Chain A
Amino acid sequence: EYEEKTGRAQRPLSPKQNVRKNLDFEPLSTTALILEDRPANLPAKPAEEAQKHRQQYEEMVVQAKKRELKEAQKRKKQLEERCKLEDSIGNAVLTWNNEILPNWETMCCSRKVRELWWQGIPPSVRGKVWSLAIGNELNITHELYDICLARAKEKWRSLSTGGAEVECEDAGFSAADREASLELIKLDISRTFPSLCIFQQGGPYHDTLHSILGAYTCYRPDVGYVQGMSFIAAVLILNLDTADAFIAFSNLLNKPCQMAFFRVDHGLMLTYFAAFEVFFEENLPKLFAHFKKNNLTPDIYLIDWIFTLYSKSLPLDLACRVWDVFCRDGEEFLFRTALGILKLFEDILTKMDFIHIAQFLTKLPEDLPSEEFFTSIAAIQMQSRNKKWAQVLAALQKDNREMEKGSPSLKR
């Protein structure tokens, strides 16, 4: 009988021990830990056991308090860091608004501004800075946007009532036109940042995105709508008013690198890839050799990255920071970013085979650490044997032209 009693008395111990073992995962409030005596209808604990339990209880409370204190300190530190960050963003906004933007022409190239720029442009001034940096070489006015949009709308209306006439009318661009059709743009709009749920049918920016892409196909029927454009327009819409987004969009696409890609000028694209490889080999020779060995050509990952300016492959906040510096440094920064990504993941990539590298690079991890990422980009040298990006690219283009003169067959 005694054994039975003690056996029963000892039983409650084991769950307590479990609790103690799992304490690391317990809720952090001490209110969850209340030591109570056994209910009156049960035999009382032996004194020794009660003492032991009290001791365990006290240990638990001490541990919990310690953890709470630690948590509180951590929260305080996080809060301080956030305040600091908000302060620095606030200060940066002031600097951009009061000092830099009013004196853009004289200040935009100064060392101080370039450094601030690298830190990332505060979201509230981002659109303005992008607009200024991209410029408006094409002299597009808000009125021109309205005209292009009106034409696009007219075309869509006639397309939905009966497409045959329209095709005859624009015989010159019929192929490009067909590609630029409402349907194509519509299909892609719903597939632009689907997780944000703002560009989809019924979303707040659906019509805006539709309008900008449609207007562009009327402004540049020779280019038309090309996949990737919807991502670029979407990022601009998130930072600029519609007409200004259109102006930035058209001017951005008019830059040599973007024109080469969006017109799918294959020869010139290959030249860009070749220039990229020069800097790839220079900066990451080991990985370069590994890629060569595995037949992993740069087009496999660069096409997506360059066409969408990283807006599809990087988390949006990081992509915007890449855009910031792209606006500052031009096309070479797109390729520098690519090398930064490769450098950041060099160790993993060197251990992978073709298909795994290809999979990895066409679907980058979603939780890229932003500071490490930019540190990695910063470590990339865009100098090859004292030649800068533009010089390397120009030399390759010159070689290509001479080769084309020599033999009519296409390279590769």
Chain B
Amino acid sequence: MVDAARHPKVDVRTYTEVERVEGYVGNFKVLLREKSRYVRTDRCNGCGECAKVCPIEVPNYFELNLAPRKAIDVAMSQSVPLIYNIDLDACIHCYKCVEACGKLEAIDFSIEDKLVWEDIGAIVVATGFSHFDPSVMPEYGYGRYPNVITAMEMERLNNSAGPTAGNLIRPSDGTNPKRLAIINCVGSRDKRFNPWCSNFCCMYAIKNAILVKQAYPDMDVTIYYMDIRTPSKGYEEFYDRAREMGIHFIQGRPSLITEDPETHNLFVHSEDVALGHVIEREYDMVMLNQAAVPQPDVDTVSSVLNITQSPGGWFMEYHPKLRPMDSPTDGVFLAGACQGQKDIPASVAQGSAAAARAGRVLHADEWEIEPVVAVVWEDRCVSAKGKKCGLCAKACPYNAIEYEQGKAAHVVTAKCHGCGGCVAECPHNAITQMHFTDAQILAQIHALLAEKPEEKILAFRCHWCSYGGADLAGVSHFEYSSNERGLRVMCSARMDADFIYEAFRLGAGAVLYSGCHPQDCHYITGQRVGASRAERLLKAFEKMEMTPGRFRVEWISAAEGDKYARVINEMQAVLDSIPKEKLMEEIERLRPEMERRARRLREVPQVEEALGYSRQLEAAMVGKEA
């Protein structure tokens, strides 16, 4: 901690939050809110005279509310930086602190939050994790029984820098416990709460047991566990040491804790797998080893930084094996437990690894980005002919399109991230996206529906999420109907309504319109552009009395392989439930309307050529079959 503050190249900005991130790899602009401490950082010397005279006590987050802090205080004596701050909600403005500060004049109630923009080339996200709150498990009585504490509370109670100076006492009466039970997997490996193993808790339970045993050799310390998981270097040996020290291990997940209301002693009811029967043992104190869970503000951080989440809310890495330090956004890297529950050595290692990955970008003179950007066909843009439009600029999440009535819209290439939303939104087909042109996509649609289209499920997927979900379905061998035919674009925003009409015009049995969940969108608001279009399509098809389920809209993350497989299988079930004749009748009935709606597509440059080529291709495909 001190090293970071002392490092000449590291600028530590505490009590500061990230409000907004704009830009792209190598060229981010980050808006920081430096919250007011009401104490001047250039003058406070950390002497603490102010806190001594402050009459107001407030709960202390750092001590997990086991001890109070003053309305002007520091989190701990080793705080970095050692600068006091005022909790203005609690402050009664008695100004005793101002008096105590005296000539330093460090306290200044007029300081306001400061908003600062910073130019940044690469970002490492290391926002950490939080702890499961066991008060939602009534069976353990946390919050009702004073002597049931959490692991983090144990850390403070048994800590020489903590509120009791390391004297482990029972909250009910201040005496030292003689019998301590530690319960593992509280909120972890529990399908009611979190399915995952929290990774470090076995070692954490053993560490706490050893520390307590060292301080109080006569104490009876028992760890209740489901499995002891000690896979890394030196871990199993540490476990052996705990056993040698006389720490008891009982395999069994306690089902209930009851309390003697007089003594506040606790009775732990559990199965003992070794004995093969149910046991009940009395303790003076119980420590609940809480699950590691994502930070409560993970959704906000996700949307500010454009990072997808894995199930449960951990940040998702670009690739779990090959690129575990990279987020899906180029130039944004992940470190520590925000990416998944992990212990200190692993967090430190990932921090260094993320720094190395970020260094690749930061040491380069220039960085290459993919040219999948939007380009305007100026002669087709109606704005150039004086008409009012600007739909493209409205769809752009990056303000990359300059629109002025009377001039053709202009895409600022460096700002364009290539979602393709403007391309699909343009009613005059005056914009195209490089590498995902209408002609290219149309040629794919025709090829995928060349034979027996009525049996096919054409699935539009976005690159970052639902395509990844389809990959994961395969990786996990979740089988789904082989009638699915996938087509990839960068974002659901690119899924032009014309493509859907064209697919149905060609006689597709079903069409899936899929992308990311709104908070996961790689293009800030691209998904919203895609989603509102999908809503319009759903309504249009309902009006046409299309069988429900033939057009389906689903948001599927790259971590939801099971969902992708389930959705496709459900769509297959819809197709199976419609008698063939009825389906063919419906396709024929709707074809003229689909043709009418898809006709604008024909005006797009190269599309006629694409259709011509598709006819050749289809002939070859069918010919080969025959």
A and B bind: no
A contact set with B: CB distance below 8 Å: none
B contact set with A: CB distance below 8 Å: none
